[in-house]
Amino acid sequence: MTQRRTKIKDILNSDKSEYKVNIKGWVRSFRNNQFIAVNDGSCMGNLQVVIELGTDEAIVKAINTGVSVSVDGTVIPSQGRGQKYEVKADTITILGECDPEKFPLQLKNKPSLEYLREIAHLRFRTNTFGAVFRVRHTLAYAIHKFFNDRGFVYLHTPIITASDAEGAGEMFKVTTLPFDNAPHNEDGTIDFKEDFFGRATNLTVSGQLEAELGAMAFSEVYTFGPTFRAENSNTARHLAEFWMIEPEVAFNDIYDNMDLAEDLLQYIIDYAMKNNREDLEFLAQRLADEEKQKPMNERSELGLIEKLEFVLNNKFERITYTDAINILLESPAYKKKKFQYDVSWGIDMQSEHERYLVEKHFKKPVIVTGYPKEIKAFYMRQNDDGKTVAAMDILAPGIGEIVGGSQREERLDKLTQRMQEMHIPVDEMYWYLDTRRFGAVPHAGFGLGFERVVLFVTGMTNIRDVIPFPRTPKNAEF
Ligand code: 4AD
Ligand code: MG
């Protein structure tokens, strides 16, 4: 019988040798007809497999980058530099061949991230994407652990919904009606009563409204699921399908909300630093190499690891929207007309403004509160000034907005009035308003964009490179 497979990570991390193993994985390189670097994805490092001179010619010929192999052999201290252990092969079996003339990963020397996006189905097999997706996994796990350890209930909110939680109308429709022969009402509009759910439905843009219902019973809940936005923004920070973490906490106000978001971010960064050190160090080096290509004045001052450590060791800056606008108005960038978009109280800050605040002015993550109510969603709690709401956005260096949240308007009259002003269908949303009718309490929550936090932690610069299969305008390959 063949031996049970040992993970390469366990071999490299152990402190023993002189024992028999079976390993399986994919060949990353083959040198001198003798040294095979095998990777099984369990860690960044490859295991060096040494084959005996005189191994079957046919097998030696078949070994190439990309080939999958099974190796039985003995773990021994490595003679070569760069690794502590290697495996001396007794037998080697080719599981799946790989033609080097056709293998897309091998057709280019140093394939660019753009090229790898075109072969996203294979890019997991590179060091960079191996590291990114192991870190992504760890962050997801750390998020669940953070909330679980604090007694939150993980609530699965629906993916198909009839409501537009953000009131922004950027939704993908879900329907089984035939496009060319949809039933119509007398006024010419589509008759969704005939549709699968008997009403118009769409993919969710946020699980918040349903999370609020849960918070009114469990006190502390969170959702962590896919969200969909049909906004036509082809930027390095927008996806049409992304994952969002949305905690919702009864009895919390906007300050508790800020504390929770800051704790969550620091916790998961710390967790990744402790559990994915090797991956992060690799990504830090990758970023440093990339930075070297940039002109001096555009290079970031901190390396990836230093940046993460800085975030762990420093409180986020907390400022009001009004202060933020004043800082921008006073900035050399504004005075020298460096901003593309104008600045005045009331604007929805553009990413150039957000990045100025975090990268140039404060040089750390910033929590901005008290936004004008006109630019924020209907559910945010209205401040006494009549102009602003208890909103909070967290802005991160290199990314811009990473978290958006608020204290919620728990006063039924104020909420209903705001919904009417913003043309949100009050009757249809009776279920949401019931939380304000039956035992309403102050509460608050936020949404953390998962891919944005993965960008931040991995130091990658394009959001398409931190989700396995990105969905963006005109792109849903794989
Ligand atoms: O600020 P947003 O729109 O807030 C909400 O959806 C609230 N319902 C959250 C809540 O209070 N429970 O989105 C929250 C976060 C943003 O800060 C951003 O990080 C991320 O979601 N996000 C996107 N990430 C990738 N691609 C997009 N198109 C995104 N839109 C928002
Ligand atoms: Mg937002």
pLDDT value, residue 3: 60
Buried b (16+ CB within 10 A) or exposed e, 281-312: ebbbebbeeeeeeeeeeeebeebbbebbeebe
Of 54, 72, 107, the domain-final residue: 107
What CATH number corresponds to the domain at position 313?
Answer: 3.30.930.10
Looking at the fold, whether 386 and 454 belong to one and the same domain comes out as yes
Q: How many domains does the chain have?
A: 2
Looking at the fold, whether 37 and 165 belong to one and the same domain comes out as no
Ligand with an atom nearest the CA of residue 402: 1
All residue ranges of the chain with pLDDT < 70 are: 1-3
Helix (H), strand (E) at residue 86:
strand 85-96
Looking at the fold, whether 160 and 99 belong to one and the same domain comes out as no
Residue 332 near residue 379, CB atoms below 8 Å: no
Assess if residue 197 is contained within a domain: no
| Protein residue closest via CA to atom 27 of ligand 1 | 238
What burial class does residue 135 get, using C-beta atoms within 10 Å of its C-beta: 0-12 exposed, 13-18 middle, 19+ buried?
buried
Separation of 392 CA from ligand 2 center, angstroms? 9
Task: Write phi, then psi, for 430 (nearest 5 degrees).
Answer: -55, -35
Among residues 239, 205, 253, the alpha carbon closest in space to that of 377 is found at 205
DSSP bridge partners of 444: 249, 407
Assess if residue 267 is contained within a domain: yes
Q: Residue 367, Cβ neighbours under 10 Å: how many? A: 21
Can you give the residue range of the structural domain that contains 134?
Answer: 127-170+205-465
Of ligand 1's atoms, which has the minimum distance to the CA of residue 248? Answer: 12
Assess if residue 180 is contained within a domain: no
Assess if residue 200 is contained within a domain: no
Separation of 328 CA from ligand 2 center, angstroms? 19
Looking at the fold, whether 378 and 457 belong to one and the same domain comes out as yes
Looking at the fold, whether 92 and 151 belong to one and the same domain comes out as no
Looking at the fold, whether 84 and 155 belong to one and the same domain comes out as no
pLDDT value, residue 2: 56
Looking at the fold, whether 159 and 79 belong to one and the same domain comes out as no
Looking at the fold, whether 334 and 445 belong to one and the same domain comes out as yes
Assess if residue 41 is contained within a domain: yes
Letter for the amino acid at 441?
Answer: V
Separation of 182 CA from ligand 2 center, angstroms? 35
Assess if residue 120 is contained within a domain: no
Separation of 225 CA from ligand 2 center, angstroms? 17
Buried b (16+ CB within 10 A) or exposed e, 217-245: ebbbbbbbbebbbeeeeeeebbbbbbbbb
Looking at the fold, whether 155 and 223 belong to one and the same domain comes out as yes
pLDDT value, residue 436: 97
pLDDT tens-place string over residues 366-403:
999 999 999 999 999 999 999 999 999 999 998 999 99
Of ligand 1's atoms, which has the minimum distance to the CA of residue 394? Answer: 17
Ligand 1 pocket test target in 235, 242, 450, 472 with most atoms within 8 Å of CB = 242
Ligand with an atom nearest the CA of residue 408: 1
Looking at the fold, whether 54 and 152 belong to one and the same domain comes out as no
| Protein residue closest via CA to atom 31 of ligand 1 | 449
| 334/2 Cα distance (integer angstroms) | 69
pLDDT value, residue 106: 87
Separation of 360 CA from ligand 1 center, angstroms? 24
| 36/19 Cα distance (integer angstroms) | 19
Contact residues of ligand 1, CB 6 A cut-off: 165-166, 206, 208, 229, 231, 238-239, 242, 244, 246, 401-406, 445-447, 449, 451-452
DSSP bridge partners of 406: 391, 445
Assess if residue 476 is contained within a domain: no
At residue 219, the 3 state secondary structure works out as coil
Distance of alpha carbon 195 from its chain centroid, rounded? 34
Ligand with an atom nearest the CA of residue 229: 1
Assess if residue 45 is contained within a domain: yes
At residue 152, the 3 state secondary structure works out as coil
What CATH number corresponds to the domain at position 45?
Answer: 2.40.50.140
pTM of the model: 0.96
Looking at the fold, whether 16 and 151 belong to one and the same domain comes out as no
Of 53, 72, 107, the domain-final residue: 107
Residues within 5 A (CB) of ion ligand 2: 404
Of ligand 1's atoms, which has the minimum distance to the CA of residue 208? Answer: 12
Of 107, 138, 160, the domain-final residue: 107
Looking at the fold, whether 134 and 102 belong to one and the same domain comes out as no
DSSP 119: T
